[in-house]
Amino acid sequence: MTLTPLLSVSNLTLAFTRDISQPPTVKGLSFDLKPGETLAIVGESGSGKSVSMMSLLQLLPRHSSFIRAGEALFNDQDLLRMNEEQINKIRGAQISMIFQEPMTSLNPVLSIGLQLTEVIVTHQKLSASQAKDLAIAMLARVRINDPQRRFRQYPHELSGGMRQRVMIAMALACRPQILIADEPTTALDVTIQAEVLELLRELKREFNTSILLITHDMGVVAEMADRVIVMQQGRMIEQGDVGPLFAAPQHAYTQALMRAVPRLGETAGQEGPVRFRLLNEAEETTPLISGALTPSAVPAQPLLEVRDLHVRYDVREGVLRRLKGRVHAVEGISFNLYPGETLALVGESGCGKSTTGRSLIGLETPSSGDILLDGYEVHRLNRHAMRPVRKIVQMVFQDPFASLNPRLDAGSQVREPMDIHEVGNHETRDRKVAELFERVGLSPEMRHRFPHEFSGGQRQRLCIARALSLEPKLIVADEAVSALDVSIQAQVVNLMLELQAQLGIAWLFISHDMAVVERVAHRVAVMQMGRIVEIGPKASVFSRPGHPYTQRLMAAVPVADPTHQRQQFFRDTTELKSPIRALDYPGRPQQMKQIAPGHFIAVEDV
């Protein structure tokens, strides 16, 4: 029995110029979406995946985007030809969208609760109190701890992963017929990712919701999709059922895309970082292991020493804003990082990874503890004294669009750190900008564009170029490759490893992607609820995880194989623990037990 398509897109051709002599951004895209089906759209950053789906809901700027041809029929109505009033009734109610960058999709001056209830009240006949109850229930359903308190908070008070979960809750609140999910699990750790994917499957089963899934994670595609569309340079080059397409891709680009997918366990037994195979490299002739990137002897003196670091935030309530408790974001962690070494910091959203990274560069003030960076006591420095430290340590932030100035062109933003620190003269700075653009896979001609003119992946590469401009000794990479498709991810990770081998750069690599961590890291530290629960050499941690939480992380990693049957994922239905503690809470001393050379686990949690 053939189902009538819920959505039928035919010959969609989209351009960002009226000049018909210029090639369109998307050309001739056609597909059908059936009720209850999950259709995945994959391809390189900038291939037209996101703009195609945004055009269906008329979310692109009307003055700069133009539909040259095509139609998109939903319930016998053409979405592309609807007026503003008609499309507003569709958006959010019948077709919802989870956006790629949650910080720029949420209103920074409105509370989370107000934004959630606004969507619910607009599209459902519910009272304000009923909308609030539903909003809090949705926050709990996407596994956000203490949903009543989060309901009152603002976007900047949540971690990147929590903001992404808020977007998912908002999209699912009205039980849409079609859910367009643009990288819905990009900012989530693997345990929360597994739970969110299960939530999407439940919605699909319960309400027969159809899903348009835009993602670069081929493991998620293999686990979720019924059919797959592969796009390259604005065109659909291949489509088919997920099983046959993974087993025997026909197009050369699809074949190369499959080869570039990182798979957990692929580098088992290797102690040091392992380079990615690029799309244009032949499988038979490309070595996986780069000899220049194998770990060297550990230097005698660490570049970074962190000792008993605590970061706590006051919680105030009431009209008088009285102090009621404290959020224990980071609780007594200690580690060393050596020149030329990569330490990966992994753990679930809100566990304190990003707070740790921000503390190292002076963007967060520790409550107690010591941070020693190349001889500087970072925790004791004021803003003026931190200036020379900025040349030593740089940071690549999780949300690239929010960390770029929308009023400056890309070249100026890469050049700005060199201008501030007066590195070289004007000619050398301009030459360095062009070189950095090429090194991260961007054309030097793109330096005159503004951030909104780049795709999400291109913006992340731009941020990496800016971080490299001062040639720092340490770079804190906070989910630096999470927004990138596998081909660009491979280029950027290989670039990171090459820079490390050439310049001795140390990386604190904050990530939730365990397959990428397995390739990049020398050592791995696993965080949970503000504490390091396991730390050790990469090979030891991945082959013999000692802590139950680390074991859960490994079990939750999606596998890029549709025939793979994931073991029953343990879904914790207990109430999530809150990081808020009473004012008189004394804290717990961290106790670690060695289970292998250099490999330690937290004993009080085992």
- pLDDT for 288: 43
Q: For residue 189, what are its two tokens?
A: 């750790």
Helix (H, G, I), strand (E, B) or coil at 382: coil
| Residue 309 phi, psi (nearest 5) | -80, 130
How far CA 372 is from CA of 26, 116, 301, in Å, comes to 51, 42, 11
Q: State the average pLDDT over residues 189-215.
A: 82
Cβ burial 528-555 (10 Å sphere, 16+ → b, else e): bbbbbbbbbbbbbbbeebbbebbebbeb
Give the span between the Cα atoms of 404 and 416, in whole angstroms: 12
Domains (range + CATH), the chain: 7-259 (3.40.50.300), 309-392+472-557+570-602 (3.40.50.300)
Mean pLDDT of the 551-567 span: 77
Q: Phi and psi of 405, rounded to 5°?
A: -80, 115
pLDDT value at 572 more than 70: no
Q: Cα separations (Å) of 415 from 91, 149, 391, 418, 589? A: 40, 41, 14, 5, 45
Least Cα distance to 295 among 520, 33, 11, 447 occurs for 520
Provide the pLDDT for residue 1. 52
Give, to the nearest 10 degrees, the angle between helix 486-503 and helix 252-259: 50
Indicate whether 575 pLDDT > 70: no
Q: How confident is the model at residue 415 (pLDDT cuts 50, 70, 90)?
A: very high
SS3 annotation, 141-182: HCCCCCHHHHHHCCHHHCCHHHHHHHHHHHHHCCCCCEEEEE
Mean pLDDT check: name the lowest of 3-7, 295-299, 552-556: 295-299
Which residue did the predictor score with more confidence, 191 or 538?
A: 538
- For position 297, what pLDDT does the model report? 54
Please report the pLDDT score of residue 355 as a whole number.
92
Convert the pLDDT of each residue in 166-184 to its tens digit: 988 888 888 899 999 998 8
Predicted confidence (pLDDT) at residue 571 exceeds the cutoff of 70: no
Locate the DSSP E strands across 300-422. 304-317, 322-337, 342-347, 368-373, 376-377, 393-396
pLDDT in tens, 451-487: 988 877 788 889 989 998 998 999 999 988 876 777 7
**What is the pLDDT, as a whole number, of residue 397?**
86
- Return the DSSP state at 491: H
pLDDT at 213 over 90: yes
CA distances from 373 to 335, 346, 354 (A): 12, 21, 18
For the chain, the average pLDDT equals 85
Reported as a single tens digit per residue, the pLDDT across 492-523 is: 788 788 878 888 899 999 988 888 899 899 99
For 221-254, the pLDDT digits (tens) are 988 999 999 999 899 999 999 999 999 999 988 8
Q: pLDDT above 70 covers what percent of the chain?
A: 92
- State the Cα–Cα distance between residues 590 and 308, nearest whole angstrom: 9
* Least confidently predicted of 267-281, 360-374, 383-397, 550-564: 267-281
With 70 as the cut, is the pLDDT of residue 314 above it? yes
Res 532 pLDDT > 50: yes
- Full strand arrangement of the beta sheet holding 77-78: 26-33, 7-15, 66-74, 77-78
Q: What is the pTM of this model?
A: 0.77
Is pLDDT at 291 greater than 50 in this prediction?
no
pLDDT of residue 448: 92
Q: What is the pLDDT of residue 289?
A: 43
Residue 573's pLDDT is: 45
50 contacts 182 by C-beta, under 8 angstroms? yes
Per-residue CA distances from 208 to 3, 38, 90, 200, 205 (Å)? 13, 10, 17, 11, 5
Considering only residues 105 and 358, tell me which one the structure prediction assigns the higher pLDDT.
358
> Has residue 424 got a pLDDT over 80?
yes
3-state helix, strand, coil in the chain (%, to 5): 35, 25, 40
Residue 358: predicted pLDDT:
92
Amino acid at 455: S
Task: Give just the sign of the alpha carbon dihedral 449, 454, 458, 463.
Answer: positive
